[in-house]
Structures are given as structure tokens and as C-alpha cells.
Structure 1
């Protein structure tokens, strides 16, 4: 697992965050990928869920878009992303988000843990996650913007089952253990709204929550606790909930 951080250099004034949509950022990625290899761009775009990456934009303190951070689960996704963004950096060709143009100032790659390292973490009974971009979970025709443990850890569980080596796969019964044994003991969450897309002057908004949440597991099952810690660490790469490849559900773990 790896992080790639892409820093922007604005050309016509700083990039105003209020004019950025998540679909615009999603489209930017695939435009950059196509410049290097249309076939691999199509492969990643059509990749079945869960995809091997998540994304989150980062902003200056006064609300201007400064860049993007990608978390890559597989080496194949890392290779595709890194080559494309490095190519964009060297080309110095202006990129666009709406009417705002910029070039790539810097691309940095940071190595993270592998699945075996996560699988061997020490079991603990407490965990704190910071939800840094709007997070919500599909529920029927809508979304639930609340950090229920069974929802929070389901997406990292799905990513683990898809990408971890077969010998490290988790028994499906773990999700039942999580729902029965993991509880929220403290939080300072608040509602956050982000624009997915603009259509005919109207915004398509995504409503989620952000903020710190403390979870506690009331169990003496060391193996289940070890898995829980592993999935908490994985969440920092996989994201949590819905639309993680478009910037939602980004978390950090204390």
C-alpha cells in the first residue's frame, strides 16, 4: 500500500474550493491517466468495486484547493497512477478544473504497510478514527451519515477480502462480531455537505459527517480484535463508506 500526494501550481489565481466538484476531480484523474495509456485508464475506470484506490482533496486553511492525495491498495494501481502524474509533472501542460487552470508542482510517493504487517498488529480494545471528508453509508434509496461500527468497518472488510492474500482472508462471521461488540464511546462529528456535480445550474450534493470518533470493543477475542485493528489501519487507505474514489469517506487513525 502507498500514498501518492499531488501538489498543484495555479496559473490564473488560486483554485477556489467552492467551485470544485468531486466529479470534476474524478474526471481529472482519468484525463491524466489517458495521456499516458488509454488502455490502463479504461481498465482502472471499469474495475469492479471495490477499486484499488481512494482519493481525497486537500485544501489551504482559507479554502483553496492545494492538491490531491491518492491511497493505492495494489502495486498495479500504484504504477498506473505514479507514471501518469509524473508524466503530467514533466510535461508542464496546463490541467483544468472548470475555468481554473494549473500545473503539477510535485508528486510524492510514501510507502505504507502490507497486508501481512496489518494482520500481525497487536490487539487493542480502543480505536480513534478521524473522518476528514464527508462520510455516509448507503441505506435503501438514500445515505446514512452516522458512524455505526457495522457500517464503518464493512468497506475496509470488503477491500481486505478482495486484495489480501488468500491465506489472510477473514471469515464472514467477523462482521457479526463487529456489529455486536464494537461501540462508539465518544465523538465530535458534524454534518458536512460536498458537491458531487453541477447540472443546469443546480448542485448534486452529498451529505455526510466529519470529525473524530472513538470506538471501543467489548470483547476478549484477541483474533477478532487483531482483525479490527488491521481494518482500522486499512481504512486510512481504502476509505470508508460510499464514493471513496471521488473523495468521500477519507479517514486517518490515531
Structure 2
């Protein structure tokens, strides 16, 4: 008997009047599948392809435009096993994936999508059966988030590596102004209430205090842009004395904390980074992080080698080429095919093939000197 995976979502009338929702997908592997470490790019690509099939214009805007995206995704959660320098998904094992939507336009797209819902999540060559979709956080509106009771203490857990961009570098620390700058950017773009960033972030810097934390740094591969150093773990914030003198900012602080699980934290949230919960969770990353970090470290080592061979000449263009060389070689060393590498890095196959030959030649010459 086939069970409708969407049955727990009701009659879908909620799509007519809400702005935000977090959906939890229960996925089953039909057989053993092997994934590369940077598989979250495949989750991102699958979702955008689902959007494209129903609205090519919306998909193009989500993919190409620099504005904030009105969705975030998680990485897979479940029995992820290190095997032969890859991640093994076991046959008949259950995996969980989270999709967060926080704009009325995408909520309306969801309603159409649910009427043509796919049976599988196609993650590269690993189609995962969608057994069930349910609410992780029920549908709501920005107005409801704004009107909820003001709280001064909030706990956050960052389930995947979280980082911010600062002076063209990764900044892997949860400095409160960075946290709330991340949330306010998205709030200002998609809600009907817009606030000045500078004055609010000055208030955050003055009144928001870190009460406790349990964090560690993690370095993961970040696709064709290299590796990302971020933090995972938990954090508790509270408001210091005299915050009551600024009632509107206090209300905004409370609303943005509740908004955080929807929008995620930091950058690359549409690729599974910055996955955020509004609770304290003790997490132990014992799945694939060690090999992920090895991949990231190897990419950094290779970039240094290629840059030295270029004698530091050529500026940003040379750095980008060296980064592409490093990404390709590091993945070849993990026995990924050039075809899979091209798909993962969103590069033409012939370009990857050419870069692979050039990079291999450079490495061979460097070993001889």
C-alpha cells in the first residue's frame, strides 16, 4: 500500500497565508550509495531543478542573482559512514533532510510543487525515496514572529559549520553583531518591516551578551570556492541591563532569534552550512568530519603548491585557477571520476579534463625539483 508522503501536511490551505515553514523529509536509500564529501551541492542543485521545472524564472533568480535567497537547506542526518574515502549511505537506512522556506513567493511555489511531488530526491546517482514530509516548524508569518512574547534569553545550536564573510575571509566566531547582521539582512528583504542595520547592530554590540557556549571549529570543502572554516556547537545569549530603554530593538532581537532556524546563520546556508536550531543540543560530530577536514586541508596544501609554481604572479585570476586545480586534484586523489568532479564543481567536463592534465603536470614537475 502506497502512503502519500505529504499526508501530514494537511489540505495545503496554509500555503495561502503564510511566509515561513521548515519541512522535514524522511528519506530511504534503496541500496548502498556512495557520496562525495561535498554532496550538499547536489541537494542544492536538486532543489533548484525542482523549482526550474515549474518556474524557470524563479529558479534563475535563485541561482544567479546576488540578493539573499529565500530558502536554506540542511545536510543529511542519519547513518553516514566513512568508506573508501567517501560517504556510504546504507541500504534501507533512514535519513533526514530539512528544507526551510521564508518568502511568500516560494511558499506559493510549494503549493504547486506538492501537486506534482517527486517520489525520490535525486542526489547525483543516489536517488533517495521520499517516505514522508512533515512540519519541523509549522507555517507562520513574519507578523506572528514579530508579535510573539518578548524573551531575553535564547539558546542556539549550529548543527553544520557556520561562518561569516569578513574582509574577504571566513570569520568562524559567533560574534553577536555578525549573527544578527546575518538575520537582519534576510528579514529586511523578505518581511514588511525594515530596520536600519547600523543602529540596531550597535545596540546588539552593546546589550547582547554571551552567557555560555560549547563550540568547536570545523573545516569543510566548499566546492569550487575552496574550503570553509566554521564553527559548530551551542551558544546562549541574553540581554544586559537597561535593554528596556529600547523597546523596538528588544522586540526585533526576540523576533530575529525566532527567525534564525528558518533562514540559517552566516553564509552558504543554501548549501547546508549554518543549519541552526533554537535550542541547546549537545552534538558530537563523529560521522564524516575527519575525512572532510582532510579534503579541505589537502586543497589548501595544493593551492600553496600551485601558487608557488606561479611565483605569486597573476592576481586573482591566477588564484582562482590554482584553486580549481587544487579542487580537481584533491578529488581525483579520492578516486572521484572527472565527470563527477565536473558535476560537483559546476564546471564543463572538458575544462576539468584540461585543468586536470595541467595540474598533474605541475605537480610532477614540482616533485622533480
For Structure 1 versus Structure 2, the TM-score category normalised by the shorter chain is: 0.7 to 0.9
Measure the CA separation in 1 of the matches of 2:27 and 2:38.
14
The residue number in structure 2 matching 1:188 is 214
In the alignment, which of 268, 277, 289 is matched to residue 243 of structure 1?
268
Measure the CA separation in 2 of the matches of 1:82 and 1:108.
14
Measure the CA separation in 1 of the matches of 2:218 and 2:112.
33
Per the TM alignment, residue 18 of structure 1 is displaced from its structure 2 partner at its CA by: 5.5
The residue number in structure 1 matching 2:28 is 9
Answering whether residue 51 of structure 2 is matched by residue 22 of structure 1, we say no
Which runs of no fewer than 5 residues in structure 2 stay unpaired?
1-19, 82-88, 280-369
Per the TM alignment, residue 97 of structure 1 is displaced from its structure 2 partner at its CA by: 2.7
Q: Is the 8 A contact 2:243 2:250 kept in 1?
A: yes
User: What count of residue pairs does the alignment treat as equivalent?
Assistant: 244
The residue number in structure 2 matching 1:112 is 139
Higher relative contact order (CA 8 A, sep 6+): 1
Q: Is the 8 A contact 1:133 1:210 kept in 2?
A: yes
Larger Rg: 2
Per the TM alignment, residue 61 of structure 1 is displaced from its structure 2 partner at its CA by: 4.6
Per the TM alignment, residue 207 of structure 1 is displaced from its structure 2 partner at its CA by: 1.8
Q: TM-score, normalised to structure 2's length?
A: 0.60
Distance 1:102 1:209, change over 3 A: same
Structure 1 residues 87-133: Cα deviation after superposition (integer angstroms, max 9, x where no partner)? 343xx3x6543432333323334533322222223333322111111
Q: Is the 8 A contact 2:207 2:243 kept in 1?
A: no
Answering whether residue 184 of structure 2 is matched by residue 162 of structure 1, we say no
The residue number in structure 2 matching 1:133 is 160
Q: Is the 8 A contact 1:12 1:102 kept in 2?
A: no
**Greater mean deviation of Cα atoms: 59-68 or 239-248:** 59-68
Q: TM-score, normalised to structure 1's length?
A: 0.84
**Greater mean deviation of Cα atoms: 4-13 or 177-186:** 4-13
Structure 1 residues 168-224: Cα deviation after superposition (integer angstroms, max 9, x where no partner)? 332431111001211212110111233332x7xxx9332211111011221423322
In the alignment, which of 205, 211, 227 is matched to residue 233 of structure 2?
211
Measure the CA separation in 1 of the matches of 2:115 and 2:108.
11
The structure with the greater share of residues assigned to strand is 1
**Greater mean deviation of Cα atoms: 99-108 or 67-76:** 99-108
The residue number in structure 2 matching 1:77 is 106
The residue number in structure 2 matching 1:31 is 49
Find the residue that maps to 1:157 and give its secondary structure: helix
The two structures, once aligned, show a CA RMSD in angstroms of 2.5
Measure the CA separation in 2 of the matches of 1:88 and 1:124.
38
